Each structure stands twice: as structure tokens, then as C-alpha cells.
Amino acid sequence: MVKKVKGAILIGIVVATAVAVVIETSFKIGPNFDGATGKVNPKGWGLNVPAMPESVVATPDFGLFGQFNLFGSLDRIPLITVILLVFTLLLSDFFDTVGTVTAIGHEAGLIDKDGNIPNNDRILLVDSIAAAAGGAGSISSNTSYIESASGVGEGARTGLASVVTGICFLLTTFLAPLVAIIPYEAATPALVIVGFLMMTQIKSIDWDDYGIAIPAFLTIILMPFTYNISVGIGAGFVSHVVIRVIQGRRKDVHPLLLLVSGLFMIYFLSSPINTWVG
């Protein structure tokens, strides 16, 4: 990647996987945790054991497809809890997408002079349809992935890379045994590169303005610590409003930002409320 080689990240993953297969074949390291025996192997592989499968092709299991009950939760939990759960999912999915698209848009140079994302309505429409389709397929909510920054790092700009990636994901449903040999240790470096690409954007932050710098810092630091993009964004919104009010600059806070910050407060309190409601 340093030498601007196209596909450098993919090449790195393939080479690292090949080396891992050789190491596993030679030394029989095994997994770091054996679910059958409960034994822990500190020297084992973290996620997948890079051993060649008996077959590289397998028939996808669609047994759970369409197995959902749209209103079944109302039979088990109170309506207020259902509303809070749906609201939490909506808020999390929406701001995960907005945060991801904004970060990747900046990296790709697609943000206009006013900081707006082009065709953002189409992006949100696709994401919302995908989320609904995910539920209909009995899987977790589909959303935009920050790992797309690796594609941007390779030169992706028009959306064709996303189409190709989607097709490749479809193909991997039939090649699951082959994909399963890629160890965590081979894929992790790609995420490190993604993190590096994202961090290049902090140079645009006004670090002399605490009303911007502190929320930005909280956003950056809480995303990885909480494993949740929405928590980081929410902390940034709420802290920005609080700091501006303390600074006596309430008029600088847009009413929509006040509304969103209030929604995030509900989001943060939803877990205690659910516990209290039962």
C-alpha cells in the first residue's frame, strides 16, 4: 500500500493466510479455545484455524430465511419496551450509517464545501431497505460498514466497488469452507489500515475550540472502547450541546442538534428504563 500497489490490502490478507496455513500444517497449533473440551491454548489461533477444509464448496443453509414474527414481541414484553427497543435500533442504525458515510466520504473527497454528503437520501434509502431485508431474512440488521474505507484506500469512488463486493459476498455463501480458513490474525492488519485512513481526517478538527475538540475526542475514543459507533456520535452531540451552553453560546446550537441530543439521552437511558420497566 505504501508503494501504491492496487489490491495491496487483499494481497496482504491472501499472503498472510497462506503463511498461516503453512504454519498450522507444520506445527498443528489449533484454536486458542476448544469448545468441546473447554481447554484454553494461549498460543492458538484467535478466530479461525487456517486448516484446509475437506471441500471448498458448501450449500448455503437458508433454513432461517423468513422465520420471523413481526409482532411476536408484543406477546412477551410490554409495549413501552418494544418501542424503546425499536427506537434504540433505529437510532443506532441511522447514526452508524451517517457516521460511516461521513468518514468514508471525507476520505474519498466526496464531501462538498458545506460538508454535505451527495445523494445522502439515496444512501439512507438503501440502508433502510437493507435493514428491513435483514430482519426478513432472520439475520442482524444490515448497515454500512466502516471497512469500506479500505476500498476507498484502493481507489473506489463510483460505487462499482460496492457492487463487486456485494457479488463477492454472495459467492462466499457457497465458498464458506474456503473463507473460513482466513485467520483473525490475517484479517486484522486490514482493519488497522482502515483505522489509519480514518485518523488522517483529524487534521481538519479545530483543536483550539473546546466546544468542538472535546466532543470530537469523545466521539473518536468511545467508538472503539464501546464497540458502538452510535455511542461515540451520541457522546459527541450531547457533550457539544453541554459545552456550548456552559460557554454561554446557546444560540450557536441548532434546534435540530438539541432534538438529536435529547434523543440520544433517551437512547443512553433506554437500558436502565428497560430494567426498571422489566
Segment 184-199, tens digit of pLDDT: 889 888 888 878 877 8
Closest to 41 in 3D by CA, of 49, 266, 68: 49
C-alpha distances (whole Å) from 26 to each of 21, 52, 135, 184, 228 are 8, 12, 43, 19, 39
Q: What is the mean pLDDT of residues 85-104?
A: 83
Say what the pTM is: 0.69
Alpha helices, DSSP H, located in 109-209: 120-136, 148-153, 160-172, 176-179, 184-199
The span from the CA of 175 to the CA of 56, in Å, is 6
Rg of the chain over all Cα atoms, to the nearest angstrom: 22
- Selected residue with higher pLDDT from 34 and 167: 167
**Which pLDDT does position 255 carry in this prediction?**
93
Instruction: Give how far the C-alpha of residue 230 lies from the chain's centroid of Cα atoms, to the nearest Å.
Output: 10
pLDDT of 88 over the 80 cut:
no
| 24-28, 64-68, 236-240, range with the lowest pLDDT | 64-68
DSSP class of 46 = S
Stretch 245-265: mean pLDDT, rounded?
92
Name the least confident of 31-40, 199-208, 216-225, 252-261: 31-40
How far apart are the C-alpha atoms of 21 and 2, rounded to whole Å? 26
Helix (H) or strand (E) holding 213: helix 210-226
> Is pLDDT of 60 > 80?
yes
Query: What's the confidence (pLDDT) of residue 262?
Result: 92
Query: For 2, what's the count of Cα atoms within 13 Å in the CB-facing half-sphere?
Result: 0
- Between 34 and 127, where is the model more confident? 127
Has residue 278 got a pLDDT over 70? no
Q: Are 32 and 177 in contact (CB under 8 A)?
A: no
Give which of 47, 64, 62, 63 is closest to 179, Cα–Cα. Answer: 47
Query: So what's the pLDDT on residue 154?
Result: 78
Domain boundaries in the chain?
A: 1-60+173-203
Q: Which of 5-9, 122-126, 130-134, 274-278 has the lowest mean pLDDT?
A: 274-278
Averaged over 142-157, what is the pLDDT?
81
